[in-house]
Amino acid sequence: MTDKPVDILLVEDDNRLANLTAEYFRQNGLRVEIETRGDRALSRFDATKPRVVLLDLMLPGTDGLTICRQLRETFDGPILIFTARDSDIDQVIGLEAGADDYVAKPVDPMVLLARTRALLRRAESAGKAQASGGNIELGGLRISESSQDVWLHGEHVQLTTHEFELLYLLAKNAGRVLSREDLFRNLRGIDYDGLDRSIDGRISKLRRKVGDSATEPTKIKTVWGKGYLLVPDAWGDTS
């Protein structure tokens, strides 16, 4: 374990790739720890307390999807997964397991560095948001920015940090359609590339957690060809 907080825990069983990636990141000012086995990933995570986890799906001991689900029980920071090229199912399953982003192998180190820095900025922004205060009330929905808590009809809704960020952004703009471009710029600090579907996966998970329909949503609607809309009068009364 390093004597400074670790920026990144890289869980990758390809030693050559892991070391090359870590060295490139270190040359660019980031602190990286490497773990090559899935069955040691959680203990290494506990020892290093990283801000971001970069996680391969194919690992010895324990697979990456299982690790992602286990991390999400206690860790609300960013998780990026490595997927096989053109494997849409890996991307979807990874996002459903709690990942925030994904890259296809083989990955350009410059691209991976840019995506990782964007995740680090989001983690930093989330920490600042906790101290900034601010509440939103829409019928039976109450959102506290300062504590990052959400209640629906008096029941606490358990969200990850990034699910909270998405809901808060939609709620601040209730009644207005936000495009994927809007969401990417605000939540990830990067422009939408026209292909990434991570926002779609997070919307799907958020709908389930707030009791919205997956097939005919009324609270967070898809406006085809435009984006997503949080409907301000769809959250019932305050009782």
Q: In degrees rounded to 5, what are phi and psi of residue 206?
A: -65, -40
Residue 186, C-beta contacts closer than 8 angstroms, at least 6 positions apart: 169
- Which whole number is the average pLDDT over 6-27? 94
Q: What angle do CA 37, 40, 46 make, to 5 degrees?
A: 135
Determine the average pLDDT of the residues in 11-34: 94
Task: Kindly list the domain boundaries of the chain, sorted by start residue.
Answer: 8-129, 135-230
- Mind listing the pLDDT tens digit for each residue in 149-162? 999 998 999 998 88
- Domain covering 135-230 in this structure, CATH number: 1.10.10.10
Query: In this predicted model, which residue has the larger pLDDT, 131 or 53?
Result: 53
| Residue 46: how many other CB atoms lie within 10 Å | 10
Q: Cα–chain-centroid distance for residue 211? A: 20
The 10s digit of each residue's pLDDT in 197-213 is 778 888 999 999 999 99
pLDDT band at 104 (very low <50, low <70, confident <90, very high): confident
Reported pTM: 0.56
CATH class (in words) of the domain with range 8-129? alpha beta
Token pair recorded at residue 151: 């209640």
Q: What's the Cα-to-Cα distance from 167 to each of 21, 36, 47, 92, 122, rounded to whole Å?
A: 33, 35, 31, 20, 15
Model pLDDT for residues 36-81, shown as the tens digit of each residue: 999 999 999 999 999 899 999 999 999 999 999 899 888 878 899 9
pLDDT at 88: 67
pLDDT band at 189 (very low <50, low <70, confident <90, very high): low
User: Once rounded to an integer, what is the mean pLDDT over residues 18-32?
Assistant: 95
Q: Residues 6 or more apart from 49 whose CB is under 8 A from it?
A: 5, 6
